[in-house]
Amino acid sequence: MKCIVGIGGMTNGGKTTLTNSLQKALPNCCVIHQDDFFKPQDQIPVGDDGFKQWDVLESLDMEAMLGTVKAWVKKPQKFARAHGVTLQPHDPGTHILLIEGFLLYSYKPLLDLYSRRYFLTVPYEECKRRRSKRNYTVPDPPGLFDGHVWPMYQKYKQEMERDGVEVVCLDGMKSREELFHQVLEDVQNTLLNSF
């Protein structure tokens, strides 16, 4: 039994925190982070808004990401071992892949692969506050959040809604524990109903 779970949503919405908690709790669970597929900085163009276009789908090598997902689908045991995941002998037939990222549901070739899709959101002010407290390898220039990050989030969210992409919306303002238990229970039910 293979299960691919998307943990998507806005920047600083709690995706990585939730993903890391789920990985520890689920059997034979691997993770793919969309942030690992950013193109090199010199390949990220500057847009009409005057900012490097990090928050657009074109800034990511989505073909490479899709290839990585397909490698897991083809041989989840081999993928797990290659990524340091200890396989559970009491649950050898279940394999779970968590895919975490901010533009998971905008790349059509990935859409049909998900067993479950989650989408974390927090209000504008909270998102801006959290983002301002993060240390990025490439620091945010002044005005980036309002001038690029937030508008791009709204654009992709509207496209997702327009395209009718079904997601389970999660309130990123809930406690980490509450979100973790909500998604864990849902994923476990998905697995139970698949057998």
pLDDT per residue over 57-109, tens digit each? 999 999 999 999 999 999 999 999 999 998 888 777 899 999 999 999 999 99
- 3-state DSSP percent of the chain in helix, strand and coil, to 5: 50, 15, 35
Spot the catalytic one: 35, 49, 146, 163. Answer: 35
Rounded percentage of the chain residues whose pLDDT exceeds 90: 87
Return the CATH number at 44.
3.40.50.300
Token pair belonging to 10: 């806005």
For the purposes of burial, counting CB atoms within 10 Å of the CB of 24, is it exposed (0-12), middle (13-18) or buried (19 or more)?
A: exposed
Q: What are phi and psi of 180, to 5 degrees?
A: -60, -50
Which 3 state secondary structure label does DSSP give 185?
helix
User: Is residue 108 within a helix (H) or strand (E), and if so which, with residue range?
Assistant: helix 108-111
In the residue annotation, 35 being an active-site residue is answered as yes
The residue among 21, 98, 103, 88 whose CA lies nearest residue 56 is: 103
Work out how many domains the chain is built from and give that number. 1
What range defines the domain where residue 29 resides? 2-193
Question: Global pTM?
Answer: 0.94
